[in-house]
Structure formats: C-alpha cells, structure tokens
Amino acid sequence: MDAITKLVEKGYNRIAEDYYSLRNLSKFNNELEEFVSLLPENAHILDVGCGAGIPTAKFLIEKGIKVTGIDLSDTMLNLAGKNVPSAEFIKMDMNELNFNEKTFDGIVSVYALFHVPKENHFEIFKKFFEVLKPGGILMINNGVSESEGTSRFFGVPMFWSNFGPKTTLNLVKEAGFSIISEAVLERGGEYQYWIFGKKLES
Ligand SMILES: C[S@@+](CC[C@H](N)C(=O)[O-])C[C@H]1O[C@@H](n2cnc3c(N)ncnc32)[C@H](O)[C@@H]1O
C-alpha cells in the first residue's frame, strides 16, 4: 500500500466514530432511490468506500438488495458490520478491486473517490465497468473542481484529489459507460458532482 493510501486508512481508523456520528443520514436519499429504481430484481451491488454502512448499505438492504461493501478502514468496517449485519463487508483498497468480471448489478461509490489520487480514477472506472454485469448501473460522486492536497479533517491529516466534472465525465465515458444523468448537486450544504452511468447490454 502506498503512503497516500496508508494516510487515508490511518485517518479513517482514527475518525470513523466521529465521522459516523455526524453523518447526515438522509442527505442523498433521492439519489439512492433513483439508483434502486434502475436496478433489476434480486440485485447484488458493490458499495465502494462503504464507511460505516449508513446510509448506503442500510438503505439498499432495506430495499431487499444484496450488498457487498468494501473499505480501507477496519474501524469503519467494524461499524458497518454492526450497523448492517446482513450485508457483507470486506477490507479492500479500491485501487486493487479484486472481484470476478460481471459480478455486480450495480456499483455505488459516494464521498470516497476523492480520497484516491486522480491519476488512478480512470483505472478504477475501467475496473468498475469490468466487474459490472451487462446492464449494470453505476452511481458515483466526486468533487466539483480539480484539486489535490492534504488538509485536516476531523483533526487528522487527510488526502483529497479529484478532476473537475468535465474530465471526470469523460473518463467515465472512456471507461465504457453510457451516461444516464450527471449534475453538480447540493446535498446537506455540500456540492458534489454526481454521475449515473450504465454498462450497456452486449
Ligand atoms: C467520507 S467517507 C464516506 C463513507 C460512505 N461512503 C458514506 O457516504 O458515508 C470515505 C470512506 O472511503 C474509504 N476509502 C478511502 N479511500 C479508499 C480506498 N482506496 N479504498 C477503499 N475505501 C477507501 C474511507 O476509509 C472512508 O470510509
């Protein structure tokens, strides 16, 4: 694991409880509802950077969807296991996704991609495409302006990196996705760039 990923892992292990207790749990319910509406019956989804399992994994499990969540942080994964016992949680770095091709009906990754160096985002999008089944749905968000650096977050050093919306959109398209919708949205007082994509049947 490289130094940046270690910094993010260590940071979330220290702040997981604080982050989780201050999480606004319903700020993106509309997007989760939209994601669910696009999935097939008996869907199995992957939540990348799942954190404490709330709101995303819990919301999806309550809709009858099978959820696998991955995260770097053991502390987050422990919380997730307690919060959503019927989901599966695995320690895994999204830079090294290790699932078979065509495993999932949907992938959601929210408030997480911006902790990974932006030069890795394209490889991650390509891997998302590979592990989705044909017809699979992608829902991601990312920051709204190109930037990279380290700043204090809940009192610990944290790494942030993202391209602006135009580049992120192009990379998602180049990875093979057809775009369902994309927009900068304000949720809970924060702006993020949201993309819904689809791996077309083939
Ligand atoms: C801001 S939290 C968001 C958690 C959750 N998605 C939510 O909406 O509450 C970011 C999460 O991404 C995880 N994360 C950061 N980099 C990661 C990586 N390379 N692979 C897997 N998880 C990562 C962190 O450990 C943390 O739990």
Task: Name the residue of 50, 75, 109, 118 to mutate for ligand 1: max ligand atoms within 8 A of Cβ.
Answer: 50
Check: CB of residue 73 under 8 Å from CB of residue 16: yes
Which residues on adjacent β-strands are paired with residue 184? 193
Task: With H, G, I as helix, E, B as strand and everything else as coil, classify residue 160.
Answer: strand
Query: How do residues 119-148 score in pLDDT, each as one tens digit?
Result: 999 999 999 999 999 999 999 999 999 999
Structure token pair of residue 175: 């990875």
User: What is the C-alpha separation between 188 and 2, in angstroms, rounded?
Assistant: 32
Note the pLDDT of residue 22: 85
Atom of ligand 1 nearest to the CA of 51: 27
Query: pLDDT tens digit string along 169-199?
Result: 999 999 999 999 999 999 989 999 999 999 9
Higher pLDDT, 124 or 202: 124
The 3-class secondary structure across 155-194, one letter per residue, is CEEEEEEECCHHHHHHHHHHCCCEEEEEEEEEECCEEEEE
Going by pLDDT thresholds of 50, 70 and 90, the confidence category of residue 23 is confident
Q: Indicate the helix (H) or strand (E) that contains 14.
A: helix 3-22
Q: How many CA atoms lie within 13 A of 66 on its CB side?
A: 8
For 119, residues 6+ apart whose C-beta sits below 8 A from its C-beta are none
pLDDT bin (cut points 50, 70, 90) of residue 202 is low
Q: Give percent of the chain above pLDDT 70.
A: 100
Residue 93, phi then psi, degrees to nearest 5: -85, 130
Residue nearest to atom 16 of ligand 1 (CA): 115
Return the domain boundaries, the chain: 3-198
Mutate-to-test residue for ligand 1 from 20, 28, 71, 110, highest number of ligand atoms within 8 A of CB: 71
Beta bridge partners of residue 151, listed in sequence order: 158
- 108 alpha carbon, distance to own chain's centre: 5
CA of 50 to the centre of ligand 1 (A): 6
Q: How confident is the model at residue 24 (pLDDT cuts 50, 70, 90)?
A: confident
- What pLDDT was estimated at residue 16? 96
* CATH number 3.40.50.150 is the correct assignment for the domain at 3-198: yes
Task: Give the mean model confidence (pLDDT) for residues 18-47.
Answer: 93
C-alpha 74 to ligand 1 mean position (Å): 11
Is 64 a residue whose pLDDT tops 90?
yes
Q: What's the whole-number mean pLDDT along residues 86-114?
A: 98
Q: Which of 76, 92, 121 gets mutated to test ligand 1 (max ligand atoms within 8 A of its CB)?
A: 76
The alpha carbons of the chain give a radius of gyration, in whole angstroms, of: 16
Q: For residue 188, give Cα distances in angstroms to 16, 34, 48, 119, 153.
A: 19, 18, 21, 28, 17
Q: Are 47 and 109 in contact (CB under 8 A)?
A: yes
CA distance linking residue 183 with residue 165, whole number of Å: 8
Query: CB–CB of 138/199 below 8 Å?
Result: yes
Cα-to-centroid distance, 49 and ligand 1 (Å): 3
Q: Determine the pLDDT at residue 25.
A: 74
